[in-house]
Amino acid sequence: MSATQTNKIDITKAATSKINEVDFEKLSFGAVFTDHMLECDFTNGEWQTPVIKPYAPFLADPSMRVFHYGQAIFEGMKAYKDDNSDIWLFRPDENYNRFNKSAVRMAMPEVPENVFMDGLSQLLKIDQEWVKKGKGNAMYIRPFMIATGTGVIANPSDDYKFMIILSPVTSYYSGDVKVVIAEHFSRAANGGIGAAKAAGNYAAQFYPTTLANKEGFQQVIWTDDATHTKLEEAGTMNVFFRINDTLLTAPTSERILDGVTRKTLIDLAKSEGINVEVRSVLVSELVEAAENGSLKEIFGAGTAAVISPISGFSYKETYHELPKIENAMATQLKDKLTNIQNKLAEDTFGWTVKI
């Protein structure tokens, strides 16, 4: 290993790389990680010097607060390599700002921009060979923070660990996605932490999603906690509905995550002259549209899959199949977005940032 210091980041490089052990043609999403990771501790009321070092497990005290009281947040981002071997991030400021909003909501310290952004840039430069060219290839970036203070008293931790790990990925194919609309379970409630990317939000979804899987559905479309009449998110993604030629999606709130892909698709659709309505979408409205033939498409939107088309939904034990559409709006928007991300089309919005 060799140790250096760059822009107040201590860097220890791995003696050898494991990149030649990886089959980049057969990657399982989020299962393979690069040679290095970034780590920065918050102790004694201040952030310490960030460290980039070889990817490896670390020791954890059994009484660490994250295990007992769930102070844990994360983000999901991607980096892309263009034909000139330059590496680009997509709207990283949105992820950085949302990360710190999540931190505030979970009573955790905000991460300084130089730790998050400069650390990420250095990490990507060190592991740049892991970022592969070609549309569909990307580097999935997982910044996260956990409470590392010890003791089982039910208080916020005094100590925290911020980390970034990198995972090379290829195109995310989810296959045929059928969903069931939630009638009892809720993803989040008013006054809760639904708008934060808190780990517990995702853990709470596993049980109702498992029940849906047993019934032959891949995901759940979540409804509001109070009345279960308003459509909110699909699985771990924001959700869009196309009724005739209008694109509908729910407004962000304390219950709904302010997705980066979501807001990007809204801007892209508007720039293409598509009528977009950001408003509450009722379950009854969706069922009626499915029955009269005006419901054309449903799709989820998120970092991993970008857009995940939904082939049908079930509500009150009645299944509604969606029509097969050539040149679907979901396909058009996904192509436009991924072309910008991969520098195959001009970025007139200023979303891409060169490393």
CATH number of 225's domain: 3.20.10.10
Residue after which a domain boundary falls, among 141, 169, 197: 169
Structure tokens at 52: 């980039």
Indicate whether 151 and 190 sit together in one domain: no
Indicate whether 202 and 322 sit together in one domain: yes
User: Which pLDDT value is given to residue 173?
Assistant: 65
CATH number at residue 48: 3.30.470.10
pLDDT tier, 176 (very low <50, low <70, confident <90, very high otherwise)? confident
Indicate whether 46 and 129 sit together in one domain: yes
User: Is residue 88 in some structural domain?
Assistant: yes
Tell me the per-residue pLDDT of 95-147, one tens digit each, with 9 for 90 and over: 999 999 999 999 999 999 999 999 999 999 999 999 999 999 999 999 999 99
How many whole angstroms separate alpha carbon 67 and alpha carbon 164? Answer: 19
Range of the domain at 271: 178-341
Indicate whether 10 and 134 sit together in one domain: yes
pLDDT greater than 70 at residue 215: yes
How many whole angstroms separate alpha carbon 107 and alpha carbon 65? Answer: 13
The residues near 250 (Cβ < 8 Å, ≥ 6 apart) are: 230, 231, 232, 233, 238, 239, 256, 278, 279, 280, 281
pLDDT greater than 60 at residue 163: yes
User: Which pLDDT value is given to residue 1?
Assistant: 46
Indicate whether 8 and 87 sit together in one domain: yes
User: Which pLDDT value is given to residue 175?
Assistant: 75
User: Is residue 226 in some structural domain?
Assistant: yes
Average pLDDT over residues 221-225: 96
User: Which pLDDT value is given to residue 3?
Assistant: 47
User: Which pLDDT value is given to residue 117?
Assistant: 97
Tell me the per-residue pLDDT of 24-60, one tens digit each, with 9 for 90 and over: 999 999 999 999 999 999 999 999 999 999 999 999 9
Q: How far is CA 122 from CA 2, 80, 199, 301, 347, in A?
A: 15, 15, 26, 29, 24
User: Is residue 354 in some structural domain?
Assistant: no
Domain count, the chain: 2
Residue after which a domain boundary falls, among 134, 169, 204: 169
pLDDT tier, 167 (very low <50, low <70, confident <90, very high otherwise)? very high
Indicate whether 29 and 70 sit together in one domain: yes
Q: Is 247 exposed, middle or buried (0-12, 13-18, 19+ CB in 10 A)?
A: buried
pTM: 0.94
User: Which pLDDT value is given to residue 172?
Assistant: 77
User: Is residue 355 in some structural domain?
Assistant: no
Tell me the per-residue pLDDT of 69-85, one tens digit each, with 9 for 90 and over: 999 999 999 999 999 99
Indicate whether 195 and 157 sit together in one domain: no
Indicate whether 139 and 282 sit together in one domain: no
User: Is residue 350 in some structural domain?
Assistant: no
Indicate whether 308 and 210 sit together in one domain: yes
User: Which pLDDT value is given to residue 315?
Assistant: 97
Residue after which a domain boundary falls, among 117, 150, 169: 169
Indicate whether 186 and 212 sit together in one domain: yes
User: Which pLDDT value is given to residue 6?
Assistant: 53
Give percent of the chain above pLDDT 70. 97
Indicate whether 297 and 321 sit together in one domain: yes
Indicate whether 117 and 211 sit together in one domain: no
Tell me the per-residue pLDDT of 275-315, one tens digit each, with 9 for 90 and over: 999 999 999 999 999 999 999 999 999 998 899 999 999 99
User: Is residue 285 in some structural domain?
Assistant: yes
